Amino acid sequence: MRLIYFGTPAFAACSLERIVQEGYEVVAVVTAPDKPAGRGLQLRESEVKQAALRLGLPVLQPVNLKSEAFQAELRALDADLGVVIAFRMMPVAVWSMPRLGTFNLHASLLPAYRGAAPINRAIMNGEKNTGVTTFFLRHEIDTGDLLLQQETEIGPDETAGELHDRLMWMGADLVSATLKGIVDGNLQPKPQGNAEGLPAAPKIFQDDCRIDWNRSALEVHNQIRGLSPFPGAFTEWQGHGIKVYRSRMAEEASPGPGIFFRGASNRLCAGCLEGSLELLEVQPQGKKRMSASDFLNGWMK
């Protein structure tokens, strides 16, 4: 089974390492071009490229996936199957090129939460369960025939970053099981079914990150943890921009939406339309992330 692997971030690097450890032949890894990053704007390699180089795998970094030269390289590899995880949109000519097609790992229980931000959106919407899914690619995004799924609970205070890491390892297990099923010939794809009425997972924009304190404490709490650690929920306090990374439900009554106050036992709290939240970790604009106690000592003396 000759595999071509497509991916960019750490979420995809984990599965790449797993399938190589299990002995699958990865004939090429396709990832994003190196990008300038940091204050020095030095070129940074994607996590998938770093993993591929450690594993001694050939790496392709096309700028244009529709390039004839790139597609000729892929054809020459004569791959049996493509695996894609956290990569950009691919033209049909690329994902249909392997003999058996290409399957994708998605961080939701499809058909729910189709789109770019399934982990964030599930937490922001207060879901109690989510999971990972493998499915064969087709033209419409995240709509192909299902292969395997695995479900997990979402903790009441779990952040998007924490859930991301759990799903990353679960995803590696599912990719491994999917490959075994395809190789053994005992995995039967099945249609996803209708997604009408199910939540979607569109890309996160700046307006999604602005905290609206005129909502319930639970809704704001879900927004904060669903955007933590990146891109981060933000608000303003006394003219200062502040990101909030962690919170939990507070027993204190709300003094009013958006009002910061000291709760019992010298805790940092903020009022919502219904109820209050304890803010556990914040970051004033231009400063480092800090605990609530540091914020209280330095900013709310």
Tell me phi and psi for residue 96, to 5 degrees: -90, 0
Mean pLDDT score of the chain, rounded to an integer?
A: 96
3-state DSSP helix/strand/coil % of the chain, to nearest 5: 30, 30, 40
Average pLDDT over residues 113-128: 98
pLDDT band at 299 (very low <50, low <70, confident <90, very high): confident
Write the pLDDT tens digit of every residue in 68-106.
999 999 999 999 999 999 999 999 999 999 999 999 999
**Stretch among 5-9, 37-41, 65-69, 137-141 having the lowest mean pLDDT:** 37-41
Average pLDDT over residues 209-234: 98
pLDDT band at 107 (very low <50, low <70, confident <90, very high): very high
Q: Partners of 84 in the beta sheet?
A: 6, 104
Domain ranges of the chain: 2-184, 206-299
Q: Residue 197: what pLDDT?
A: 94
Length of the chain in terms of residues written? 301
Could you give the percent of the chain with pLDDT greater than 90? 94
Q: Partners of 132 in the beta sheet?
A: 150
pLDDT above 90: residue 216: yes
Average pLDDT over residues 111-129: 98
Average pLDDT over residues 55-59: 98
Write out the CATH class of domain 2-184.
alpha beta
pLDDT band at 36 (very low <50, low <70, confident <90, very high): confident
Close Cβ partners of 30 (under 8 Å, ≥ 6 residues apart): 4, 5, 6, 7, 59, 60, 61, 62, 87
Q: Residue 39: what pLDDT?
A: 73
C-alpha angle 271-276-278 in degrees, rounded to nearest 5 = 105
Q: Residue 301: what pLDDT?
A: 65
Q: Classify domain 206-299 at the CATH topology level.
A: Methionyl-tRNA Fmet Formyltransferase; Chain A, domain 2 (3.10.25)
Quote the CA–CA distance of 157 and 167 in Å, as a whole number. 16
Q: Residue 300: what pLDDT?
A: 78
pLDDT band at 281 (very low <50, low <70, confident <90, very high): very high
Write the pLDDT tens digit of every residue in 185-195.
999 999 998 88
- 242, 284 Cβ separation under 8 angstroms: yes
